[in-house]
Amino acid sequence: MRIAVDVLGGDYAPHEILAGVVQALREEEFRAEELLLVGPESVIQSQLKESGMAECPQILHTEDVIGGDEKPVVGLRAKPKASISLCVQAVREGEADGLLAFGNTGATVAAATMGLGMLPGIRRPGIAVSILGQGGHFVLLDAGANPTPKPEHLFQYGLMGAAYAKDILQRENPRIGLLNIGGEAAKGSEVTRAAYQNLEASPLNFVGNVEGNELFADKADVFVADGFVGNMVLKVVEGFAEYMVHTAKASNQDSGVRDALRTMLGVSDFSEVGGATLLGVNGVVLIGHGRSRASAVLPALRAAKADIEVGVNHHIVESLASHDGEVTSTS
Amino acid sequence: MRIAVDVLGGDYAPHEILAGVVQALREEEFRAEELLLVGPESVIQSQLKESGMAECPQILHTEDVIGGDEKPVVGLRAKPKASISLCVQAVREGEADGLLAFGNTGATVAAATMGLGMLPGIRRPGIAVSILGQGGHFVLLDAGANPTPKPEHLFQYGLMGAAYAKDILQRENPRIGLLNIGGEAAKGSEVTRAAYQNLEASPLNFVGNVEGNELFADKADVFVADGFVGNMVLKVVEGFAEYMVHTAKASNQDSGVRDALRTMLGVSDFSEVGGATLLGVNGVVLIGHGRSRASAVLPALRAAKADIEVGVNHHIVESLASHDGEVTSTS
């Protein structure tokens, strides 16, 4: 098992990413040969040496990176040696079993989609993020890969989310909810109405529409949303949590209150939860938060390793094959 | 100045709504002749009498109400005497200057749109909700009236939101942001891209796209969103706040922590902030939260009174007239 790590992507790359790698090696959760570091050789070698690492993982040298503000497809074309492209190439060629990237999400999605292709039968990739709520972790997807999906894409997100929840969250028969602005089948947009019919007609354990105020209330194990809504929801919760901490500080709440708040908000601190999985592409792709610091790297490596070892993609393909009638009949 | 109050709509109607009315009268913020109560005469009279009220506001008797789960248009057709329809009728006929309703939001929007018509030049109504953030209150619209708007509708939400922020939040030159999943002009959906162009080309103080994590961070005074996203955002924040309180209780945080949390979360407790304004229709329509209890009634009455007295609708029409070139050129 080997994971390609994009050392150059992310707001605090490369040093915080490398510090996280050092931690993973030092705690012996990962061996050097289980990692493939993609980035500038001399920087990587010197930071690992300074950190007292005897063994250095294999390095795939590059100095090119797609910046956070670059247009993904334009950037990928202009920089064939971009770190994310080399990570994808390593997975495609079997040099790594999966990749972990903290950089430009659009570039990661585009590079993975073009470089790895889709799983057989899957039409669009979706970002699955695992969030802690009242009933434990739940999955929200798509968190931003596909802002304007068709109903059949949403249906496939339900199917992929079910496989993910079963494999990664150990839910026997995951409840699939459609994130919507009302409970009845006819609520929402044309797209959600059609997706409702697709999901309802399938053998998935579909619990119907779920409204935003019930996202954290253990109404479903998987929440299906279009990439615009999923991304917005994720970021609004993140912003609200930050605002709460800011308010607690500004109002001079005593430190006990601040600490308690911070602990509770840990559940929504996406820089600590290990990242999101890009489902649907033919390979394991973990997307870490762009603002990740060193402490976020090990959880993200763990998540990538779990995705690889449990074989989520294999189960998605199996599940799709057995659902095939439903997928094509309504699309 | 007189406000028609729908006594029958809402989860805790009629008793909590009437208890709120009693409070408003008792604290002498509103005089009996400033209210028109729409609901069952005997229930209203006996509750006000038991509460020791000497004077009772005028009553428009009805026992019909559109339930929270009823399909708005179907319900409105089947029940011509529904309380929300009588409230709208009272405004249309000049018996009241505005209305306040806590019931089925879809029915309120439909009844107001059909019964009052649109302001001249405005194409679709939008729900404007005022939320407290890091820089004081800001406006989010549309919070659910129009789930799949056209770009020109979003443009008009910007324009109406600007008038509202100026009149109600006293912002001199309100910053208008487009709630989106990325900062650049090209981000999001076709609809947000076109709306971006419309807003950018207008004399509005447009600050561009704003992402979800910056909603509470004082980046804009008005956030324009489609009704699906606006409603989702509002409800997710509400649900997250409830989840925080639940977690604090479940983890046996001491009562100091719980109290502090509750105080901070007050900012997101939409049952206490007075409700949302339906902008765009030819009349003042205040939409209270369906879960409102008595304490939410007085803030909502205050909000309705402010909308009436400041003449938001008048300013919207003026503003639209002066922007007319921009509205039509790009739609």
The architecture of the domain spanning B1-116 is 3-Layer(aba) Sandwich (3.40)
Radius of gyration in angstroms for the set of CA atoms belonging to chain A, rounded to a whole number? 20
**Percent above pLDDT 90 for chain B:** 77
- Indicate where chain A has its CATH 3.40.718.10 domain(s): 1-116, 124-273+309-331
- What value does the mean pLDDT take over residues B219-247? 92
Which residues are paired to B82 by β-bridges?
A: B64
| Beta-strand pair A175-179/A136-141 | unpaired
Distance from CA of B235 to the nearest CA of A (A): 4
**Phi, psi torsion values for A283, nearest 5 degrees:** 165, 165
Environment class of B235 (CB within 10 Å of its CB; exposed 0-12, middle 13-18, buried 19+): buried
> CA nearest A239 in B: which residue?
B213
- What value does the mean pLDDT take over residues B206-212? 97
Structure tokens belonging to residue A39: 């980035």
Asked if A88 contacts A112 with a C-beta cutoff of 8 angstroms, the reply is: yes
CATH number of the domain at B120-275+294-331, out of 3.40.30.10, 3.40.718.10, 1.10.3720.10, 3.30.750.24? Answer: 3.40.718.10
Q: What residue spans of B95-178 are helical by DSSP H? A: 105-116, 151-168
pLDDT at B328: 46
pLDDT at B274: 64
pLDDT at B331 over 60: no
Secondary structure element (H or E) that encloses residue B127, with its range: strand B126-133
Highest mean pLDDT among A134-138, B240-244, B267-271: A134-138
Environment class of A67 (CB within 10 Å of its CB; exposed 0-12, middle 13-18, buried 19+): middle
- For A181, A280, B179, the CA distances from A197, given in Å and listed in that order, are 16, 22, 29
Q: A251 vs B236: CB contact, 8 Å cut-off? A: no
Distance from CA of B196 to the nearest CA of A (A): 16
- Indicate where chain B has its CATH 3.40.718.10 domain(s): 1-116, 120-275+294-331
- For A115, A227, B99, the CA distances from B62, given in Å and listed in that order, are 66, 45, 16
Q: Which residues, given as ranges, of chain A have pLDDT below 70?
A: 252-274, 324-331
Q: How confident is the model at residue B241 (pLDDT cuts 50, 70, 90)?
A: confident
- For A196, A232, B178, B278, the CA distances from A70, given in Å and listed in that order, are 36, 20, 20, 39
Secondary structure element (H or E) that encloses residue A240, with its range: helix A227-250
Q: What CATH topology corresponds to A124-273+309-331?
A: Isopropylmalate Dehydrogenase (3.40.718)
Nearest CB to B236; choose among A237, A242, A253: A237
pLDDT at B268 over 60: no
Locus of tokens 């509770």: A264
Highest mean pLDDT among A274-283, B206-215, B317-326: B206-215
Distance from CA of B46 to the nearest CA of A (A): 36
Structure tokens belonging to residue A118: 């889709």
Asked if B99 contacts B275 with a C-beta cutoff of 8 angstroms, the reply is: no
Task: Tell me the per-residue pLDDT of B42-90, one tens digit each, with 9 for 90 and over.
Answer: 999 999 999 999 899 999 999 999 999 899 999 999 999 999 999 999 9
| Beta-strand pair A136-141/A222-224 | parallel
Global pTM reads 0.92
Q: pLDDT: is B254 or A175 the higher one?
A: A175
**Phi, psi torsion values for B276, nearest 5 degrees:** -110, 155
Phi-psi region of A226 (alpha: psi -120 to 50; beta: other; left: phi over 0): beta
Task: Tell me the per-residue pLDDT of A227-268, one tens digit each, with 9 for 90 and over.
Answer: 999 999 999 998 888 888 787 777 766 666 666 666 666 544
**Mean pLDDT for all residues in chain B:** 91
Whole-angstrom distance, CA of residue A130 vs CA of residue A168: 9
> Of B153, B191, B193, B169, which Cα lies nearest the Cα of B279?
B153
Task: Tell me the per-residue pLDDT of B77-115, one tens digit each, with 9 for 90 and over.
Answer: 999 999 999 999 999 999 999 999 999 999 999 999 999
Q: How confident is the model at residue B271 (pLDDT cuts 50, 70, 90)?
A: very low
Q: Which residues of A touch B213 (CB under 8 A)?
A: 235-236, 238-239, 242
